[in-house]
Structure 1
Amino acid sequence: MSARLPVPPAIAAEIEAGALFAISHSGGKDSQAMTILLCEVVPPEQIVVVHAPLGRVEWPGTLRHIERTAEGLPLILAHARTELLDVVRRRGRWPTPGIRQCTSDLKRGPITREVRRYLHARPQHGLRVVSCMGMRADESARRAKQAPLKPNARNSVAGRHWLDWLPIHHLTEAEVFETIAAAGQRPHWVYRAGMSRCSCSFCIMASRDDLRRAAQLRPKLAAEYVALEEEIGHTLSPSRVPLRRLFEA
């Protein structure tokens, strides 16, 4: 087993039991590195990659990047029933780092739904699933406090046994990029274009520099965000500086 990916005894037991390992893949560097390392310790027939498409606000080429770098693994798409900008217009507010409806409504909820469907259609996994996510401790103080492995009581119903695992919680950003390079892969193009994150093109967690660079890369979408901010009187920027001022600066 890879020295870069310690396997807790509970995870080793799930591998032995034939559990399904569902990889939540955004297309970003952390998802990509996590997939590479999981493929070293989990048999491919026990892995499924799940992506929640974000429609117009997703970076172009994201799905193709996932397909190319996770080639050979089954990939399922978890579509939300609505898009981010429609949700914001209806609510009159953007999500915030503290209240992240974008994550719960557009990513976590749809991914959970599709993993349940996939699992129940494949009895060989014994209704056992390990949900794998790419959060890392050095991203923020909040993520550093997250437990790398815990049971998910909410989803452990209807006969299911469900664990949430953060396999690369211990990795640094440098180690993530090193893992991708060592596998002979390249990260998503947005990193080479100057972005530090690969999520929504304009993310509620983004820095000022990332928001400005995203506006340069996607000016038409930037104009739509500015117009929506002014329509509802609420900005998505974590600094609370309206996007129009931020982009003009």
Structure 2
Amino acid sequence: MEDTSKSFGPAFEVPAVILAALQAGADMVWSLSGGKDSQALVIVGAAWFRLMGFPGRQYIVHADLGRAEWPQTAAFVEKLAQQVGLPLVIVQRKKGDLVARFEERIEATRATGAPFWPSAESRYCTSHLKGGPIDQVLRNPAPFWPSSDSRYCTSDLKRGPIDGALRSAEVVISAEGVRADESRERAKKPVVEIRASITAKSTVKPEENLASMSPEDALAARNPGKRVALNWRPLLNWSTEDIWRACGTSSAELEKRQALYRNGHHHLALDGWVGHPAYVFGNQRLSCAFCVLGSKSDLLNGAQHNPELYAHLIQLEIIGDATFKNNWSLAELPVTGRAAQLRDEVLAGKEQANG
């Protein structure tokens, strides 16, 4: 079967191991967050899969983060799934959404009773730096908000629930709209790798420990009843303009619509727009309405358009005694309107409680 991927973009990368797995009937799962990269992935990927005539199933999976999502995301992903004609599987964390996870982390952190700074009663700086053993809780207190070093929002709310959806096939490929020019860390990621979390493991027989093998070796060594899951990043080397073109628009078109929106022409700015509305609102990238890795500009945009959630997260900062981002509080955002009103009410309540 000839690989026709070159007709779908500048570098729609299809490693031989992916092609072989799909020709053998592997399930193809397109991950859709609602952002432009995953949108391009779904549009291009679904058409390519159909053109190739692979025998396996293809479908879309979306991890719903609940209250942390932009309100428009649910309708957007459903519309896109209908547009490309694929089944949409929506997964959620069973114990609650991302905001609930924040609240759980607050309670877990407070329950340890571990102080953050050293004090006369807790001189862990002395015990740790002068040779004595130190309690692990003091040395590494559980983080409250997610961070670049503790991305539990991804592991608990996305990767874990998506793993559950992927378990229905013995050979499954999870495609992600990850691009190298988004960050240095993403640039280091391979185009294809084993998804070790749900690939068959064995501590007794190395020859059956598929999770530790290369994708090629794992597929060759796999026996019926044993699962091999692969992560695939076909858009790794695409540019932002490549992405917008695949979505049916351009950066220039987006800039025009953003200008219209800023000038108060909201309906005109959004009419006929093919991407997620948050981009027209002004977002540079799209994930949660409030992402700890997002720019201050995106956080401000999230606050202006989601004032109730914004106020609730400030309340969590106060309750958890920890700022949202790098010792910088969400309350410092230069918000206006409803967001400013709710922020001030939360801060006034804090002053009264301390008063």
Structure 1 length-normalised TM: 0.90
Residue 29 of structure 2 aligns to a residue whose secondary structure is: strand
Residue 2 of structure 1 pairs with residue 45 of structure 2: no
The sequence identity of aligned pairs, in percent, is 37
Q: Is the 8 A contact 1:2 1:37 kept in 2?
A: no
Q: In structure 1, what is the Cα distance between the partners aligned to 2:160 and 2:311?
A: 29
Determine which structure has the larger helix proportion and give its number. 2
Structure 1 residue 41: Cα displacement:
2.2
Pair 1:16 & 2:23 matched: yes
Which residue of 2 is the match for residue 189 of structure 1? Answer: 277
**Is the 2:247–2:275 contact (alpha carbons within 8 Å) kept by the matching residues of 1?**
yes
Question: Measured at CA, do residues 174 and 209 of structure 1 come closer, stay the same or move farther in structure 2, by a change above 3 Å?
Answer: same
Provide Cα deviations, 1:152-178, integer angstroms capped at 9, x if missing partner.
233222511211101111111121111
Contact 1:69–1:185 (CA under 8 A) maintained in structure 2: no
Deviations 1:54-80 (A, max 9, x none): 111111121221121222101111111
Partner of residue 152, structure 2: 101
Q: Is the 8 A contact 2:303 2:335 kept in 1?
A: no
For 2:291 and 2:150, the matched residues in 1 are separated by: 13
Match of 2:240 in 1: 173
Match of 1:77 among 71, 78, 90: 90
One of 290, 297, 306 as aligned partner of 1:209: 297
Deviations 1:161-197 (A, max 9, x none): 2111011111111211111016x97111100110112
In the alignment, the residues of structure 1 paired with residue 159 and residue 74 of structure 2 have an alpha-carbon distance, to the nearest angstrom, of 17
Moved over 6 A (4+): none
Cα distance, 1:69–1:245 mapped onto 2, change above 3 Å: same
Are the counterparts in 2 of residues 138 and 172 from structure 1 also a CA contact under 8 Å? Answer: yes
- The reply on whether 1:221 has 2:224 as its aligned counterpart is no
Mapped partners of 1:18, 1:61: distance in 2? 35
User: Could you tell me how far apart the structure 2 residues matched to 1:212 and 1:20 are?
Assistant: 40
Q: Output the CA distance in 2 between the equivalents of 1:153 and 1:223.
A: 39
Aligned partner letter, 1:9: A
- Superimposed CA distance per residue, residues 24-81 of structure 1 (whole angstroms, 9 cap, x where no aligned partner): 1111111100111112321386211011111111111212211212221011111112
**C-alpha contact (below 8 Å) 2:174/2:230 kept by paired residues:** yes
Q: Which runs of 5+ in 1 are unaligned?
A: 120-126
TM alignment of 1:130-149, pairs within 5 A = 130-149=173-192
1:48–1:75 CA contact under 8 A, matched in 2: yes
Amino acid at match of 1:91: R
User: Comparing both chains, which one has the higher relative contact order based on Cα–Cα distances under 8 Å and sequence gaps of 6 or more?
Assistant: 1
Q: Could you tell me which amino acid in structure 1 is paired with residue 233 of structure 2?
A: L
Over the residues paired in the alignment, what is the CA RMSD in angstroms?
A: 2.0
Report the AA paired with residue 240 of structure 1.
N
Amino acid at match of 1:149: V
| Secondary structure, counterpart of 2:22 in structure 1 | helix
Does structure 2 conserve the Cα–Cα contact (< 8 Å) formed by 1:215 and 1:247? Answer: no
Q: Within 2, Cα distance between the matches of 1:77 and 1:9? A: 30
1:47-126 to 2 correspondences below 5 Å? 47-71=58-82, 72-81=85-94, 82-92=96-106, 93-117=144-168, 119=169
Shift of 1:130: 0.6
Q: Give the structure with higher Rg (CA).
A: 2
List gaps (5 residues or longer) in structure 2. 107-143, 201-224, 250-271, 337-355
- The TM-score, its normalising length taken from structure 2, stands at 0.64
Give the corresponding residue for 2:140: none
TM-superposed CA distance for 1:248, in Å, is 5.5
Shift of residue 17, structure 1, vs aligned partner: 0.8
Work out the CA distance in 1 between the residues paired with 2:148 and 2:46: 32
